[in-house]
Structure 1
Amino acid sequence: MEEVAEAFLSDVQSVSTPGEVGVAHCVFGVTQWFRGDYPAARMHLERAVDVYDRNRDSALAEVFGYDPGVIAMSRLATVLWPMGEVRQAERIMQQALTLSKEIGHVPSVMVSHHVACILASMRRNEIDVRSHAKTILDLAREHSVPVRIADSTFFFGWSRWHGGDPDGEAGVRDGLSMLRRLQYRLLEPLIQTLLSELETQSGRTDIGLKLLDEQLAETHRSGERWFDSEMHRIRAKFLLRGGGSHNAEAERALIKAIEIARIQKTRTFELLATISLARLYRATDRDRAARELLLALSSQRIGHEVPEFEQVQRMLDVPPA
């Protein structure tokens, strides 16, 4: 996929309109996000947003499937949030949603809400997920779009199950079954992580851990590495449910999550994993190591726009035991 996207970008540079060049930058940016190269993804997606002209490029929606501005803005938001640019991500995601509504191009409306759904689920915000998934589901059923019916069914079910409604499990299972029948496997790292969390919350920790381990192995085959850091963090959380005998393995998983986040420049994921590791250090009487981790976050303001950053200062304000 990356080779095709790179060839597309190379081909359009000298022979195409600025709008088509923007589409090529967007496609290439998404492939870089897929493989976990957030800085490259950001550069190309920002370029796609910069060259977009609504009056000039709106006709390209019929050629490429989506309005170029809507898809570039949406995808850029999913890159910026993990990189710690929370306010900018929220702003540009809202711009994409507004633009899609104003244009009224149905596939563009659906994709903007689809990406917003992805972003909200990464934040575990079931209220926003439910709202976006319901919008997609209604449109997808009206216009007979099987893939959007499938993934929005999953996300709508997840929002209910995560919010405490056990009836949401049926929607999650139905959505997954539809995705399997369609052989649609994009977003598997996120989908399997969300499913594994719900299995664990339902008391099936062994199933949750198995799902996550299988997905981590699959990412090495598929190259879809954009959610690797979070999967290792969540895996550590599952391991810690098993008691002190799993502390060493959980610690290794959290260190791995932090290493990946630093390589990928995903400061939000780094913040979340580091907070978890600091808590583990405190729970195992390593207060000094925990404090050093937290001080580094605080002094460098890593992930300072993420709500969880407030936890860093609260933990630093607690004197060592």
Structure 2
Amino acid sequence: MIAVHGYAGMETGVAFDRARILGERLGDAGALLATLSGQWAFHFVRGEHDMMRQLAGEARRTSQQMSDEALQLAGYRLAGLNAIYFGRFVEARSVFETILRIYDVSRHRPQPVHYIHDPKFYALAYLPVIYWVLGYPEQAKSWQAKAFEYATELNQATLTTHVKIYGGAGLEELLFDASAVRAYADAIIELADLHNLRYFRLSGLILRGWTMAQAGAGQEGLALMRRSCTERLAMGVSWYQSRYLCMLAATSLQQRRPDEGLAALAEARNLGTRTDEHMWEAEIRRIEGELRRMQGAPLAEVEGHFQEALAIARDQNAKSFELRAAISLARLWCDDGSHTEAGRVLLASIYNWFTEGLDTPDLREAKRLLDNL
């Protein structure tokens, strides 16, 4: 059902609702684990945050009532993914690492038919991006390797594709490694075609479009990204849509098409208002500032966007987003010539916080800018 209609397909939601009723009648913990997880995934991918919170709470209460460790781990999984969605990255890391401490393969790994609900898999799949956001790019790469090792062990096409999208390409795009993203995109599309995973195929196409633009085919890459984002939203999918719209906006900035970039960000903001997602909020504000600057907006307006991005990143303890916002603001002040010293102090403060990943593109750019201030 998920393979054909996607997590957000109405048919998928109806199937999980029916299965939940049967599981409750039987009082079967395994069935409840699968159906609660499935119901939550349906609402998660659709961005229906009230139901996400409600089902995560139900999973926690049910696990306590039944004294079932597997259900407890399922509750942790839902809580961790909720935390990412709402931009609570430190909490997400803590919850996922709790799963990894508790999880015992012999006691907690579900039957193969239910691997898609394996809490250890999801903890490993999302820790790479979480660690990057929190400012640990080298540890993010280490978690990426662990995620792929475990996905290989489970050996299911849906899970392999999932981890390639989020733990693989999701991290490499943030690191600006276009060649790695292209390899993942091609593998995702190949797996999706082989196993009829249309939902995942659209992610692969967006990633492929991004790499095309980085390689010089800007017009074609943007068109593929835009078309695939539209098709994805038509399926009812909102999960990671804001990131893809940020990528579309940033690519429009590279191609000097600010109007198109701002249109993508307007869509991302509207989506965030509807779903209450905050994962990419700092990036949305920062990229909007860069696009407004390209349009020639007043200095105060552009600065306001960068300051908002900085404040959001700090509130979320999102050090990598804070670094990007500080780079944008320091560059603005440097080019204006009025707050050069303030820009240097701001950028040096966050740059000096980092203890790893000094050869990553963001940190190299920060060092280059500091050397010129």
Decide: shared fold, TM above 0.5: yes
Alignment equivalent of 1:211, drawn from 246, 264, 267: 264
Instruction: Trace 1:270-281 onto structure 2 (pairs within 5 A).
Output: 270-281=322-333
Secondary structure at the residue paired with 2:135? coil
Secondary structure at the residue paired with 2:187? helix
Report the Cα distance in structure 1 between the residues aligned to 2:67 and 2:364, rounded to whole angstroms: 48
Secondary structure at the residue paired with 1:81? helix
Report the Cα distance in structure 1 between the residues aligned to 2:157 and 2:323, rounded to whole angstroms: 37
**CA displacement 1:123-146 (0-9 Å, x = unmatched):** 332222211122221111111122
Does the Cα contact within 8 Å between 2:131 and 2:137 map onto a contact in 1? yes
Structure 1: tracts of 5 or more residues without a match: none
CA shift at 1:119, angstroms? 2.1
Alignment partner, residue 43 of structure 1: 94
Alignment partner, residue 246 of structure 1: 298
Alignment partner, residue 241 of structure 2: 188
Alignment equivalent of 2:250, drawn from 193, 197, 208: 197
Matched, 1:31 2:82: yes
- Counterpart amino acid of residue 219 in structure 1: G
Does the Cα contact within 8 Å between 1:18 and 1:51 map onto a contact in 2? no
Report the Cα distance in structure 2 between the residues aligned to 1:35 and 1:199, rounded to whole angstroms: 26
Report the Cα distance in structure 2 between the residues aligned to 1:118 and 1:95, rounded to whole angstroms: 15
Alignment equivalent of 1:109, drawn from 160, 165, 168: 160
Report the Cα distance in structure 2 between the residues aligned to 1:254 and 1:170, rounded to whole angstroms: 28
**CA displacement 1:25-46 (0-9 Å, x = unmatched):** 1211111110111122111111
What percentage of residue pairs aligned between the two structures are identical? 24
Matched, 1:141 2:193: yes
Secondary structure at the residue paired with 1:65? helix
CA shift at 1:274, angstroms? 0.6
Alignment equivalent of 1:159, drawn from 204, 211, 227: 211
Of 123-132 and 55-64, the range deviating more from structure 2: 55-64
Of 82-91 and 59-68, the range deviating more from structure 2: 59-68
Change (3 A) 1:203 1:277: closer
- Counterpart amino acid of residue 45 in structure 1: F
Report the Cα distance in structure 1 between the residues aligned to 2:321 and 2:209, rounded to whole angstroms: 25
Q: TM-score, normalised by structure 1?
A: 0.90
- Counterpart amino acid of residue 89 in structure 2: Y
- Counterpart amino acid of residue 75 in structure 2: A
Change (3 A) 1:133 1:79: same
Report the Cα distance in structure 1 between the residues aligned to 2:274 and 2:233, rounded to whole angstroms: 18
Report the Cα distance in structure 1 between the residues aligned to 2:145 and 2:171, rounded to whole angstroms: 12
CA shift at 1:259, angstroms? 0.4
Does the Cα contact within 8 Å between 2:206 and 2:224 map onto a contact in 1? yes
Alignment equivalent of 2:343, drawn from 263, 280, 290: 290
Change (3 A) 1:60 1:239: farther
Alignment partner, residue 9 of structure 1: 60
CA shift at 1:4, angstroms? 1.3
Matched, 1:90 2:144: no
CA shift at 1:221, angstroms? 2.5
- Counterpart amino acid of residue 84 in structure 2: W
Q: TM-score, normalised by structure 2?
A: 0.78
Alignment equivalent of 1:100, drawn from 128, 151, 162: 151
Equivalent pairs, count: 317
CA shift at 1:18, angstroms? 3.3
Of 288-297 and 39-48, the range deviating more from structure 2: 288-297
Report the Cα distance in structure 2 between the residues aligned to 1:102 and 1:110, rounded to whole angstroms: 14
Alignment partner, residue 132 of structure 2: 81
Secondary structure at the residue paired with 1:241? helix
- Counterpart amino acid of residue 223 in structure 1: D
Does the Cα contact within 8 Å between 1:100 and 1:108 map onto a contact in 2? yes
Does the Cα contact within 8 Å between 1:303 and 1:309 map onto a contact in 2? no
Report the Cα distance in structure 2 between the residues aligned to 1:248 and 1:9, rounded to whole angstroms: 47
CA shift at 1:242, angstroms? 2.1
Alignment partner, residue 309 of structure 1: 363
Q: CA RMSD in A?
A: 2.2
CA shift at 1:114, angstroms? 1.5
Alignment equivalent of 1:171, drawn from 213, 224, 227: 224
Change (3 A) 1:247 1:28: same
CA shift at 1:198, angstroms? 2.5
Structure 2: tracts of 5 or more residues without a match: 1-51
- Counterpart amino acid of residue 309 in structure 1: L
Change (3 A) 1:16 1:126: farther
